Structures are given as structure tokens and as C-alpha cells.
Structure 1
Amino acid sequence: MSRAPLPASLWALLAGNFVIGTGVMLVAGTLNEISGSFGVSVSAAGQLMTAGALVVCFGAPLLAALVAGWDRRMLLALTMVWYGVCHVAAALMPSYFELLVVRMLTMLAPAIFTAQAAASAGMLVPPDQRGRGVTFVFLGWSMASVLGLPLGAWLGGHYGWRAAFLVIAVAAICSAAWIWSTMPTGVRPAALTRAAWARVFKSPALMGVVTVTALQSTGQFVVFAYFAPLLKQQLGADATQQSFMWAWFGACGLVGNILVSRYIDRIGAGRAALLTTALMATSLLLWPLGVNFVVFALVVMPWGLGCFAANSAQQARLVGLAPAMAAGSVALNSSGMFIGQAIGAATGGWLLAHDAASWMHWAGLGAMLVAMTLSIAVDRLPRPA
């Protein structure tokens, strides 16, 4: 039996995640250019990701409570306008410190958008298609990696990081208009009361899933945050070659997310999360073998397949465990993802600054193995009441 087509509003949310994801990852893609522009070290420039990730980590649950009563059409459209304006401001900053402050303000948008788009997607489709709807919307992040990030890295390498930021600003305003024109009014996920938030925090299953997400993200960003300088250092890659590698990684991510979106309702979100984490761990284990471009591309392929699909599975897992608490649990999942980014980027930056780059992938692998172990344990816990 063929499934009903997804509503047009989900395409707009997918596009919003594409813009959000491209903007979030753009710092990693233009790290060499930002470092050179302000005369700071690569590891110092990488702390833009750490600071921004901390904003999302603490901002996502707080903002989820603050905007609980908002109509999601207005909320999501205004969030994209904020994202666009902040990227214009960032492109105009004359110093690294001022860029850091603006970047932290910019990251309020991802703190809201990704979690609230996922919660809204679960309300725009029938209950038996929730997994499909949530993972479909998150395909935007995969598309950001295969199209947005490589293009942004190419623009940054050839025209400067400021030009890349301005392109994101234009895309964000266009995304806001699309959401406004297609999203129905009256979409308001149930506001979580203080008691409901307490149930989320007291649920071993929900908090276990969030912890798995944090570990996955930590393991990735020890290395992922410094992909561009590592490619330049290890393989002598120029801007065009780096863009190609970003595109390859992103293409694998898109394929992985499509596959998970297609099969997650059959195999279950827990199994999908475990499988995608294992794929990422495989690449980190094989990382030292990437001594040339061809082998390196093969080494990162499993990572790409699992990267974005893993978080799609985790979001669907939370929505499936407790649909009524999805607005809060998915916001906490965003917190977990970004606290992992902050820890991973800080750890990777410290190792890079202390000439210990060869240890970066081992640190990432360790986090992945712990995530896999915890993920198996979470599936044995009772569902939240």
C-alpha cells in the first residue's frame, strides 16, 4: 500500500533545516579563512563552534519553555529572519571577539528551529508516519552537508568567509518566506508544565537517549570541527579539494538519512540509532589509514552514512517514546547534540594545540563506543509513563 504524500509544509521545514545546518557547519568549512582573517590560531578560531554550541545546549530547553505557546508558523519564520540578520551582522564584524559575540547570538536560531521543527513535523502527519515525518524534516541537515557546506567552503576559500555568511543570510530570509506561506496556523505542540518537564528529566529512557546523542556528538566533533585544517595538514588539500571532500561526506550523509527515513518505522528507532553510531565508530577506527584522497574518501564514507541519520533516529526515538513530551525531549536532544559539539570541539582544539592530532580520532572513538553501549541499555528501559 502506497503511503500518503507528505504535506507541503514539511518541505519548507526541510529547507529551513538546510539553511540552519549550513550556517551551523559553515564555521568548520571556513575555519582556515576565519583564522587567517583575524590572525588567530585554528584552535582558537574553532572555539566559535564551542561557544555557539553552548548557546544551543542551554538555550534549547529554556527557549522551548519560553516559546511554548507560540504559533509555530510565526515562531519558525521569525527564527529564520533572526538567523539571516545575525549572519549579516557577523559578516560586518571587524574583530574576532565581536564575531564571537555575534555568533553566540546567531546560534539562538538553531536552539529554537531544529527542535521545534521536529516537534511540529510530528503533528503535521498521522501517528503511524511520525518517524518518517521527523526524519524527513531532518534531511535538511544532510542536504546542508552535501550541498550547503561544500558550497560555503568553496565560497569562503575563493571569496572570503564574509561572502559565505552573506549568502546564508539571503537563504535564511527566503526560508522564512517559504515557511510563512506553507505552514498552517494553529500548530502549537502542547506546552510542557513544570510537572511535565520533571517527568522528562526523571525518565531514564528519555534522558538516556539524550545522553547517547551527547556522546555521539562529542565523538564526532573532536575530529569534525577541525576537518578543514586536518585535510590541509595531512593531505595538503586546497579550498577546492576540501570542498570536494565536504561534498562527498555530505552525499554519504544524504544517502544514510534517506535510508533511515525509509526504513526506520520498520526496524525501529533504537536499532537505527545503534547502527548509525556503529558506522561512525568504524570510520574513526580506520582514520589513520586515510593517507591519500581516495583512501580517505573510503574511510569517511561510513561516518557520512551514519552522521546525520543518527540524529534523525534519535529524534524519532524520542517522539516515539513519548509523543506528548516531544517538545521538551527533542529540545533537550538538541542540547545534548550541541553540548557534545562544545565538548568535542574543545577537546579537539586542545589536542591540536598540544601537537596531539594523532589522538583526536581515538578520543572520538572512545565516545562512540560508550554511546553504543548506553544505546543498547536504553532499549531495555521501560517507556515513560
Structure 2
Amino acid sequence: MEPPRAPRFAPTALMLGNIVTGCSVLAPAGMLPELASGLDVSIHAAGLLITFGAITLCIGSPLTAWLTSRIERRTLLATTLAVLAVGNLASAFVPDYASLLAIRLVMLAIGALYTPQAAGTAALIVPVERRGSTIAYIFLGWSLAAAVGLPLITFIASRYGWRAAYGGIGALGCISFLLLLLRLPVDLKGTPVDIKTWAAVGRSKTILLLLAITMLQMSGQFVVFTYMGPLLNKLTGAGPDAIGMVFALYGVCGFLGVAVATRIVDTSGPYRTSLLFTSLLLAGITGWALGAGTLMLMAGAVAVWGLGFASTNSMQQVRLVAAAPSLASATVALNTSVLYIGQAVGSAIGGLLFARELLHTLGFVAVGFVVTALILVVLTRPRPAAAALA
């Protein structure tokens, strides 16, 4: 059955939703000092907003994929964005840390379904030959959340307070909600997810290896990323503007990385593209570890790291869809879930090391995770007969 013709800007509407989702997930990383001082908690405690949020996301992603797989996609995605918008707006008015954490957990428990369902929806509205590039394009939203969202969050929070930053994300969520209602086709439904689907996923060695790669890539990055701002301040004396510029460099390079990946994936294949950008990811995090203490070296490493951070994840999504198209709804949801497991593991380890002032150690622990991920990427090299499904 041919997919319905997507209205103009439908993929862009899905991509904007990923910007809102990315900003909602990553926001605390861009304003840890402001959150800590404003809520009278330690930076480590403020960082737990990311850790606990990631735990909620990793549980919520497969669970909501199962519970909502029979719901029409436009209704599902628009409702999810409405919850994210209201949650961020409510966060701007909380009286204390406990209230902010509670709102965040509820908001992300629902928001967990957006990214995998957006990728699955893309597969429904474009021809098969454009599926890989369209999914990669939708994941530009996460790159833009880092390229534009995080620096803006840092800028706004340092000048107008963290409440204003949450208000801005909420306003963007309202805009995204309206665009999804206007641009997505009606009556879009994917393949229902049931127990047999999960069992089929569990029997596939390739899928399990791909999911392990995602977890390791994200664990390594979030050991450092969660505390990137405070690390830059403690190791180099960088202030809010310099930290914001490093976040911007990270995000802009992430945007460029996904743009290049989107252009080459349909010709080079997802495996080669994944290998290239995982190698860049490793090079960047290694540069951070070796250059810790020198702002210019750390910023340069962040630029290389940025080229790989979002493109590696988008390639994971493409590889999972190609490996088992009939299981895409489940595998994309699981990939998002293990992505958030990686965030939880990495940020928890990073928080423990940061609290103990082991600031240089964070970088080398991150390198260990990404080296392991690269080894698994090599192990998933497709056989010649399966190269077309790489």
C-alpha cells in the first residue's frame, strides 16, 4: 500500500517537535548553576533532573509505544507536544526543587513517545527510497535543540533566570503543537505493537547489538555532557557566555554532521555512515579528555564531538528500520529507550565523579564507553548479501 502523500512541511513539523523534545530533555544541562542557586540545591542535585528524567524516559518509551500503538498518529503526536508545552510552562512557576522534579517526571513520561513515534510516522508518509534521509532530517531537531536551544537556554537563564528559559520552551511547544495539527495527514496508523513484536525483537542478534551501540554511545557522551557547563567553569574558568558559545559550537557541528549524514546515507549506506560518525564521536571525546584544562582545546574537541553526536543516533534509527522494517515501531521505540538508559547511566556516573571532584577522570570514562561502541559498530558490519539492508 502506497504511503499517503505528505502535506508540505509535514517532516519539518515533525522535526520542530523534536526540537521541543530535545530542549525539554536537555534544558537543565544548559542552566545547572542557575537551577542550583535558584532552588537552593547543589549542582549535583540539579544534574539529577537529567538522570531521573532519563530513567523515566527509558521506561516510558517502550511502554507508551505499546499502549498507544493503535492511536491515530496526528492526535498522538499533537497531544504529546501539548503535554510538553504545558509541562515546561508549569515548570516556570514551581516553588521548589521537589515540584520541578515531579512536573519533569510526569512531562517526560508522556514526552517519551514523541521521538520514536515521529520517526515511525515519517516512514508512513514518504516513499521507501526517501525513508532514511527523512528520518535523519527529523532528527535534525535534536541537533538544533543543542545548536540553538541550549545556548539560548544558557543565555536566557544567566540573564533573566531559569524560569524564563522554561517559559520560552513552553511557548515553542505551543507553536509546534499547532503545526502538527495543521501539517500532518489524518488517519495515520502504524503496525500495532504486541507481545509477539517484542519477542521477535529479542530473537534478533543484530537488533540487540544495534541497541547496545546506542546505549554505549549515549552513556559515554552524558558522562561529560550533563556537567559540561560546570566542568568548563571549574577546569578553565569559563563564564556563562563562553559556556554558551561552546554549547553553540557543539550544536552547530551536530547540525552539520546530521546534514552530511542525511546527504550520504542513501548512497554510502547506513553502516559506513555510522562507522564514520562514531569515529568522529570518539575523536572528539578523546580530545576533550586529553585537552581538559585548556579552553581552546576543549572547544575544538567539542566541535569534532558535535559532528558525531546526533548523526550517530539518526544512523542507529535508520539501521534498525532497515534491519527489520516490520518491527520498526518496536525497534525505534526501544532504541529511544536505550538512548535514555544511556543518558541515565552516563549522567549518574558523571554526577558521582563530579561530586568527588574527579574532573579529569570524567573524560577518560567517556572514552571507554565510546571505544566499546565503536567495536560493536565494526562487529555489525553487514555481510555482502545483506549489504543493501545495512
| TM-based fold match above 0.5 | yes
- What letter matches 1:168 in structure 2? I
Structure 1 residue 380: Cα displacement: 4.5
Residue aligned with 1:107, SS: helix
The residue type equivalent to 2:82 in the other structure is: V
Partner of 1:294: 296
What is the deviation of 1:267? 1.5
Q: How far apart are residue 242 of structure 1 and its match?
A: 1.4
Which residue does 1:47 correspond to in 2?
A: 48
Q: 1-side partners of 2:327 and 2:158: how far apart?
A: 43
> What does residue 341 of structure 1 align with?
343
The match for 1:35 is 36
Q: 1:234 is matched with which residue?
A: 235
What's the counterpart of residue 329 of structure 1?
Answer: 331
Q: CA-to-partner distance for each residue in 1:295-354, whole Å, 9 max, x for gaps?
A: 322121110000011111001111111111111100000111100000000000000111
What is the distance in 2 between the residues matched to 1:274 and 1:200? 23
What are structure 1's unaligned runs of at least 5 residues? none
Q: Partner of 1:46: helix, strand, or coil? A: helix
Letter in 1 for 2:343: Q
Q: Which moved more, 1:177-186 or 1:101-110?
A: 101-110
1:83-127 Cα shifts (integer Å, max 9, x gaps):
011112222221212211111112124311000000111111111
| Partner residue, 1:367 | 369
Which range moves more in the overlay, 95-104 or 285-294? 285-294
Determine the structure 2 residue equivalent to 1:184: 185
**CA–CA distance in structure 1, aligned partners of residues 225 and 33 of structure 2:** 14
Code of the residue aligned with 2:75 in structure 1: it is M
| Cα-Cα RMSD | 1.7
How far apart are the structure 2 equivalents of 1:36 and 1:268? 47
- Rate the CA distance shift 1:6–1:145 in 2: closer, same or farther, 3 A: farther
SS at match of 2:139: helix
TM-score (norm 1): 0.95
- Normalised to the residue count of structure 2, the TM-score between the two structures is 0.94
Which residue identity lines up with residue 53 of structure 1 in the other structure?
A: A
Give yes or no for contact 2:64–2:110 (8 Å, CA) kept in 1.
no
In structure 2, do the counterparts of structure 1 residues 6 and 314 end up closer, same or farther at CA, with 3 Å as the change threshold? Answer: farther
Q: Deviations over 1:187-239 (max 9, x none)?
A: 11111221122101221111211110000000000000001101111222222
The 10-residue stretch of structure 1 (257-266 or 276-285) with the greater mean CA deviation from structure 2: 276-285
Shift of 1:5: 10
Separation (CA, whole Å) in 2 of partners of 1:174 and 1:7 = 17
Q: Which residue of 1 aligns with 2:276?
A: 275
Q: Which of 305, 322, 326 lines up with 1:320 in the alignment?
A: 322
Gap regions ≥5 residues in structure 2? none
What is the total number of aligned residue pairs between the two structures? 381
Counterpart CA distance in 1 for 2:291 and 2:138 is 34
Could you give the per-residue CA deviations for residues 112-167 of structure 1, whole angstroms, max 9, x where no partner exists?
A: 10000001111111111110110011111111111111111110111111110011
Aligned partner of 2:11 in structure 1 is 10
